[in-house]
Structure 1
C-alpha cells in the first residue's frame, strides 16, 4: 500500500485535461452550490472520484499530460513521490517551495539550474537573512529580499483534523453565509454576483474582462471578485476536498503501481527504511537503485 500527501493528490487532478474528458457527472456536495464554474466543479468531482475509486478514475478519466518544467520554482520538474511508510517524516511534514527570481529566469535555463543547485546547497542560510542576501549577491550579482522567493505550497494541509460532522457543519455555514451575503447586498453587488460568481478566476488575470456590459469597471469587478473568492469559494473548496478525503480515503491510500502510472516515484526516505534496519544500521536487502533515484521534489 502507498500513501500520498494532500498536496500531491491535488497534483493528479491538476494534470487532467478536462477538455478531453468532458463533463463529469455527480454533485460536489449533498446540498446545491451554485457559484462553482464548470472547471471548478470538474476538479472537485475528479478528486472525489480519485479518492473513492482510484482504479476507475484512472481507467475512465485520467489523461496523462507531460510534466513540463516552467522554470519558476526551485523544486520543480521532477517526479512527485508516494510513500510506503505511513509514518514517513516527508509524508507528515509541510512542503515549502521557493520562487526563482525573475532576473535569474531571464538569463535562461542554465542559470536557473545553477541557481537551483546553489539554493539547495545554501537553503540553511535562510535562517540568517543578511548572510543569505550577501551570498546570493556574490554568487549571482542580484539583490533580493529572501522573503520574496518564499512560496507557501501547503494548500489544504492547514485545515484542522476534523471529522465528517464537523466538516459538514463548516461547509453548511459557509453556504449559508454566502446566501445571506447575497440577500443583504445592494443591487450593484447582486449584479456582479449574478454575472461573475462562477468566474472569479477573472480577478487574477491581467487581461480585460470580456463581455463586461455592466456599469462597473474591470478594476472594480476584479477587486470584488477577489474578496468574494477568498471569503466564500476558496474556503468551501478546501473544506470539500478534506470532506472527500475523510469520507472516502482518510489515509490517502493507493496502490503503488497505480501511482507509478500517474508519474509518481517511490519516496527516497521510505526506500531507505526498507534498505536499512534502523536498530542495527545494517542493510536488510540488496538494493542498488537508491543512489540513482531522482529526489528533486522533497515530498
Structure 2
C-alpha cells in the first residue's frame, strides 16, 4: 500500500465526517486518561470541555490508525461525500472531493482554505440559497468590502458576510515548549470566580460568535479576558494536535487505497509538480 499525503484541512474533514459515526461512549475521566500521555490530566481537566476532549481523542485515533476506525463503520465510502454535501449548504464556493498528494513538494499541499460563509437565514431557504451562490459567482471580481456592500443592498440586510481563511499546512508553526508553558501558566492562574469562569468550558465556536458580536461595541477588560481565554484554548488544542502528529503521523500520510475508498481523489497537480522538480534536479546535476 503506497502512502500519500493530505493537508491539515483534509484531516479535519475526515474527523468531522466521522464524528457522527464515532459514538464515543467513554466518560470524561477516561478521555482525560487517554490523552494524558503527554499532557497533565489536571491541566486538561481545567481547560477542556467534553466535546473538545472527544474531538482530540478522535483526532489522535485518526492519526494513529484511520483504517481501524473505518473498519467500525458501515458504508464508509459515503462518509466524506455526505459531509461535503452538508458543508456545501454553508459555503458560497462549493467544496469538491478532497485530494491526496503523491509528493510533499506539491504547492497545493500548503494552499490555504478560503471561502465565504453563507448566512444562516439563507442556508435554510432553498430558493434564496441558489440566488446567493449565483450572486457571489457573478461578483467574485469585487474586493470583499465591495462584495459585502452589494450583498447588503441586494438582500436588504445589515448583516455582514463572513470570510474565512484556514491554514492548510500540516506543519503548525508552534513552539510547543514555550506555548505550553504559556497555556499552563494562564489556566493555573485563572481566577476561580468572576465572569471569566462562565466561559471556561464554553465551546470555542460559541466564544468566537460572542467575540464577533461584541467586537464593535465592547472594548472592556472583560472582552479582552474572554478573547485571551479563546486564544489560549485554541493554542492548547493546536499543541495537542501537533504533539500527536509528531508521534503518530508526522507527514499526515495515509494509505492511498484507504483514501480512495472513502472518496478522496488524486491531486492532478502532483504529477506536474514532480516533473518540474525532476527537471530542476536534472538541470542541476547535468
TM-score band w.r.t. shorter chain: 0.5 to 0.7
- Are 1:261 and 2:270 matched, yes or no? no
Change beyond 3 A, Cα 1:263–1:52:
same
Matched, 1:26 2:34: yes
Is the CA contact 2:6–2:101 (under 8 Å) kept in the aligned structure 1? yes
2:167 to 154, 160, 169: 154
Q: Select the structure with the greater relative contact order (CA < 8 A; seq sep ≥ 6).
A: 2
Q: CA deviation at 1:104?
A: 5.2
Aligned residues: 247
Report if the CA contact (8 A) 2:196-2:226 is conserved: no
- Please state if 1:9 is matched with 2:21: no
The CA deviation string for residues 10-53 of structure 1, in whole angstroms up to 9 with x for no partner, is 12222212762322561253322212222211211211121123
TM normalised by structure 1 equals 0.64
- How far apart, CA to CA, are the structure 2 residues paired with 1:244 and 1:156? 16
Q: Structure 2 unaligned runs (5+)?
A: 210-221, 278-286
| Partner in structure 2 of residue 97 of structure 1 | 115
Partner of 1:126: 143
CA-CA distance at 1:57 after TM superposition: 3.3
Q: 2:90 aligns with which of 61, 64, 72?
A: 72
Give unmatched runs, 5+ long, in structure 1: 207-221, 280-299
- 1:39 is matched with which residue: 46, 51, 57? 51
TM-score between the two structures when normalised by the length of structure 2: 0.66
The answer to whether the aligner puts 1:170 opposite 2:182 as a matched pair is no
Specify the alignment match of 2:236 in structure 1: 236
RMSD: 4.2
Give distance in 2, aligned partners of 1:149 and 1:192: 26
Q: Does 1:197 align with 2:200?
A: yes
3-state SS in 2 of match to 1:53: helix
Pair 1:84 & 2:102 matched: yes
CA gap of 1:102–1:167, structure 2 versus 1, over 3 A, is closer
Maintained 8 Å contact 1:171/1:240: no
Q: Which has the larger radius of gyration?
A: 1
